[in-house]
Structure 1
Amino acid sequence: MPALSFTPKGPFSLVASTRFLEGFTPASYHHAPDGVLRLAFPTDDGRAVIGCALWQKERADGAAAATVHAEYTLHVDGKATEPGASTHPAKAARAQIARILSLDTDATDFPALADVDPVVAGLQAQFPGLRPVLFHSPYEAAAWTIIGNRIRKTQAAHIKARLAQEHGQTVDVAHRRLLAFPAPAALRRIGDIPGLTDIKVERLHALADAALDGRLDATHLLAQPAEFALTDLKELPGIGPFSAELILIRGAGHPDVFPRAEPRVHRAMAAAYGLDSTAAADTTRLAAIADAWRPYRSWVALLLRAHAQDQPASQT
């Protein structure tokens, strides 16, 4: 089984990532008591499925992030393969695993934001080592936005899990059996999805086609200026401003986009900075405040969301 190691640049806690996934509805993740994070997902190119186990020995002093270790299997046509370390599939797998946990981003300067913004300082102290945990790919992020549009998150998560159960691939990861979300080609073949309208199914088919054509490739999306990538994404059926931002930020892993179409972030930001409800609706003013978070605007926005979710309902 191929083994990998990642040396985070800047703070990182796999424990914090795992805790976040437990509360992240689309993931439907259930923590194992052995400290191993287990994932299963289609590769970025949709041609295979990765099963991956990750672990990290926490440093007692908390001064620096310890090495993250991983073992993975690559499944092609349902069969496990072991690509050589220098092959394209192995390099692509490493890059995708790193991106999912935001380990591809140099966060050496992230703690320094605390020196210029006390709100960020408080968030970093509340969530030490937490980086954005992403959807496995822009394709999966896009599929989630279509599935979850105008229905409850719990209902959408159930539909997503059922798609994995009925049409995804089963993968054994560190002695546990996981189900991966259907790869684009498999999703394209599904004719009916209980709980989703015909229009949503058509849009999922269109997203599968877009993924197979490379339009949802993370590297391609990140290589463009953010505004260009968002414009391209909004050309896909069913993808509006909110969905486009989610795909770019939480699918491709752009670290420095202020989410202008996410009111929950705006409300959380207004509460954290002591602003009134009028300010919470003024994205220009909020974006100006967020300029101090560069080049980690996406990261701070995630911490604000996490903070808001931790508050009692009467305080949010």
Structure 2
Amino acid sequence: MALYSNTGTLTVTPIFDFAQSLEFMRGFSPTSDEQIVTNTSLTKAIMLGERCIAFRVEDAGSVEAPMVRYTLFSEEPLDEAIQKKAVEQISFFLSLQDDLKSFYAIAQQDEDFAPVLLRLYGLRQVKFLTLCEIACWSVLIQHRAMPIARKMKYALLERYGGSITVEGHTYRAFPAFEQLGEASEAEFADTIKNARSAHYLYEVVQALSRLDEHFLRTAPYDEAEATLRAIKGIGPWSANFILLRGLGRMERLAADMKPLQDARKRIYQPEVTLEQLQLRYGQYIGYWSFYLRNAS
């Protein structure tokens, strides 16, 4: 069927290299089957309430004067409110408003880290696309191999998500809280074939569907973390993971410390402690860890 399309450009805070974002998404296992990444563009689908739309983002600027061009694809015309919501979500997903100048100023004075910065110059964190997706993934991936978690995630996507075909390719969108909030625990168990995970999935979906995402993005970190940890199925690791990789809270380190420590040892001498690095990078320690782990 013929699709409607809307196009425009997204404002981006310098410094930004869209090629770095594409390279990150090319190797990001949790969503590897849900999008098409080329040398110049990313195309994937998203649920906005009950609407499934696809979006394509392409580079339209330079690293120092960045701009991203977008195209929205839909089966029905999109009103201004939906277009605005889509554009805001895409911008947040790609972290286009993150200002890394202060982080870069610190990193350039770090002789051990400077080569990492040079290699990944312009990289921004690409988040999970929605809070619902990362919350569900945080349940599915716990104590489970990646291929099994991905199979469970795809089962949720297939049963509850949306789909849209663009230029002959069908893109599937992970369901939103509007879809998953109607599912029972028994339905989740039937879908993912694991009763324990289905129980936690149900609790997390029900609780988060009633929470204000803006609060989680902007509240003092400890308050936001405590709110998440009060939800059955979300522990210390999951809360930190959701805040960091889903909501862009970069002021804390990732809770999964072993890979980070291993990466640190490849860059720094043993006498350089993590505590020292936390003091050096302050509120940008999350970005420091994001770069460090991507470099390795």
- Give the shorter-chain TM-score range: 0.7 to 0.9
Q: Tell me the percent identity.
A: 24
Greater displacement, 244-253 / 167-176: 167-176
Deviations 1:50-70 (A, max 9, x none): 4211000464xx5x1431011
Instruction: Determine the structure 2 residue equivalent to 1:314.
Output: none
2:278 counterpart (265, 281, 290): 290
1:145 is aligned to 2:138: yes
2:164 counterpart (171, 176, 179): 171
1:242 is aligned to 2:246: no
Instruction: Determine the structure 1 residue equivalent to 2:54.
Output: 51
Deviations 1:30-62 (A, max 9, x none): 64446220121233xx44434211000464xx5
CA contact (8 A) 1:113 1:121 kept: no
Q: Which amino acid aligns with 2:222?
A: E
Q: Which amino acid aligns with 1:121?
A: A
Instruction: Determine the structure 2 residue equivalent to 1:222.
Output: 217
Q: Structure 1: which 4+ aligned runs deviate by more than 6 Å?
A: none
1:303 is aligned to 2:296: no
CA contact (8 A) 2:22 2:37 kept: no
1:83 is aligned to 2:88: no
Change in 2 beyond 3 A, CA 1:271/1:169:
same
1:275 counterpart (263, 270, 285): 270
What are the ranges of 5 or more consecutive residues in structure 2 without an aligned counterpart?
A: none
Match of 1:2, SS state, is strand
Matched residues in 2 for 1:94 and 1:210: separation? Answer: 26
Matched residues in 1 for 2:256 and 2:173: separation? Answer: 29
CA contact (8 A) 1:221 1:252 kept: yes
Match of 1:296, SS state, is helix
Change in 2 beyond 3 A, CA 1:233/1:196:
farther
Deviation of 1:267 after TM superposition, in Å, equals 2.5
2:87 counterpart (94, 103, 106): 94
CA contact (8 A) 2:139 2:201 kept: yes
Matched residues in 1 for 2:191 and 2:115: separation? Answer: 44
Instruction: Determine the structure 1 residue equivalent to 2:45.
Output: 40
Match of 1:82, SS state, is coil
Deviations 1:246-282 (A, max 9, x none): 1001111123222244321132123321227xx8xxx
Greater displacement, 95-104 / 179-188: 179-188
CA contact (8 A) 1:98 1:104 kept: yes
Deviation of 1:214 after TM superposition, in Å, equals 2.5
Deviation of 1:26 after TM superposition, in Å, equals 0.8
Change in 2 beyond 3 A, CA 1:148/1:125:
same
Instruction: Determine the structure 2 residue equivalent to 1:119.
Output: 112
Match of 2:189, SS state, is coil
Change in 2 beyond 3 A, CA 1:194/1:275:
farther
Instruction: Determine the structure 1 residue equivalent to 2:198.
Output: 201
What are the ranges of 5 or more consecutive residues in structure 1 without an aligned counterpart?
A: 280-284, 309-316
Deviation of 1:187 after TM superposition, in Å, equals 2.5
Matched residues in 1 for 2:132 and 2:158: separation? Answer: 18
Deviations 1:96-147 (A, max 9, x none): 1111111122233343223321233222212122111100122211100111
Relative to the length of structure 2, the TM-score reads 0.87
Matched residues in 2 for 1:93 and 1:110: separation? Answer: 28
Number of residue-to-residue matches in the alignment: 287
Instruction: Determine the structure 1 residue equivalent to 2:249.
Output: 254
Q: Which amino acid aligns with 1:40?
A: A
